Amino acid sequence: MSAVKKTAKVGLYLLSFFVVLLIGGAVYLYTNMDSLAKQLTEQIASDALGVPVHVGEMKITLEDLKIVVQDIRIANPKGYENPNAITIKSIVIDGDNFSRDLLTFSHISVSGTHVNLEVDRNGTNLGDIKSNIANSSSPTSSGHKNTGDHKEDSIKVVVKKFSLTGAQISPSVTLLEGDLPTVTVPDIHLTGIGQKENGILAEEAIAQIMDAVLQEFNKSANGAGFLEGVSLKMLNSMGVSTADVFKKNLKKSYNKEVEGFKKGFGELKSLFE
């Protein structure tokens, strides 16, 4: 066999080998897409929140541009008792348009959220996570990633609508004595995340959404009286305004006066019976 034929044959074998590798790689990516996306999601969410985030299951349907994420667990910062600060049963993500560098979501719907609120004199577990978000999104923070350092940093997203419904807060550890009831948080709706910028980094989108969500959680916890003993400065840093605190204290004072009036009226009534 001539040298030319031998070279051509070797070249054909090499070409066939690389074709097999490419096809095998494509098959691997397709069959393992859910698990790969799950790992990437856990990494991005953990970086954004500053605590470990675990995803139980993720199912991606490319034909419908739909993603269903189940059993999400957001860990507590160090120093708190419960292993998880927040658990979420399901997140349904409806895609609008997916390109190589921009993912546009028409709606993200969150259901089955449960918050284990822990309070001490220095703040709350939710407040600490909120601080983590602020620190991780700061350009001067040591943990900040420069654009382009990682593949996921080039992925930008737009979220047209976000909703979180039926969330509940259980005050597992507080500065108050006795059992406290679980409260339901008013539904949370956000719109236009990343639209003005024509897309923002996935980590930044998660941070923006969670910052707004945690602020509403803290307001609900304050309104229910779970944050008694926390300083006004700390409450303000958690997104609870001075007006919210004043409103809660005014309601508390009003209820106390009403109870006192009812008791006094009852005692007065008994004198004439």
Examine the domain organization and report whether 261 and 185 are in the same domain: no
pLDDT at position 167 is 95
Report yes or no on 12 lying in a domain.
Answer: no
**Partner residues linked to 165 by β-bridges:** 111
Report yes or no on 4 lying in a domain.
Answer: no
Examine the domain organization and report whether 98 and 155 are in the same domain: yes
Examine the domain organization and report whether 228 and 246 are in the same domain: no
**Residue 246 burial (CB count, 10 A):** 11
Report yes or no on 162 lying in a domain.
Answer: yes
Examine the domain organization and report whether 232 and 271 are in the same domain: no
Report yes or no on 107 lying in a domain.
Answer: yes
Annotate 5-21 with DSSP letters as a single string. HHHHHHHHHHHHHHHHH
Report yes or no on 146 lying in a domain.
Answer: yes
Mean pLDDT, consecutive 10-residue stretches, the chain (273 aa), reads 66 69 61 82 92 93 88 94 94 88 92 92 88 76 46 75 95 76 94 94 91 89 79 67 52 43 46 51
Examine the domain organization and report whether 198 and 248 are in the same domain: no
Over the stretch 147-194, which tens digit does the pLDDT of each residue have? 444 444 567 899 999 999 999 999 887 777 777 889 999 999 999 999
Exposure b/e, 194-210, CB count within 10 A at least 16 = b = beeeebbbbbbbbbbbb
pLDDT at position 82 is 92
Are residues 211 and 158 in contact, defined by beta-carbon separation less than 8 angstroms?
no
Number of structural domains the chain divides into: 2
Report yes or no on 7 lying in a domain.
Answer: no
Examine the domain organization and report whether 73 and 62 are in the same domain: yes
Angle, helices 202-223/33-49, rounded to nearest 10 degrees: 60
Question: Residue 226 has which token pair?
Answer: 């779970």
Are residues 59 and 68 in contact, defined by beta-carbon separation less than 8 angstroms?
yes
Examine the domain organization and report whether 149 and 90 are in the same domain: yes
Report yes or no on 134 lying in a domain.
Answer: yes
> Is residue 165 helix, strand or coil?
strand
Angle, helices 3-31/33-49, rounded to nearest 10 degrees: 60
Examine the domain organization and report whether 177 and 262 are in the same domain: no
How much is the pTM?
0.75
d(CA 265, CA 179): 29
Are residues 183 and 220 in contact, defined by beta-carbon separation less than 8 angstroms?
yes
Are residues 87 and 74 in contact, defined by beta-carbon separation less than 8 angstroms?
yes
Type of residue at 258: V
Examine the domain organization and report whether 116 and 227 are in the same domain: yes
d(CA 169, CA 181): 9
Examine the domain organization and report whether 271 and 171 are in the same domain: no
d(CA 138, CA 5): 62
Report yes or no on 165 lying in a domain.
Answer: yes
Q: Note down the domain range covering 256.
A: 241-273
Examine the domain organization and report whether 116 and 185 are in the same domain: yes
pLDDT at position 265 is 41
d(CA 195, CA 91): 21
Examine the domain organization and report whether 153 and 245 are in the same domain: no
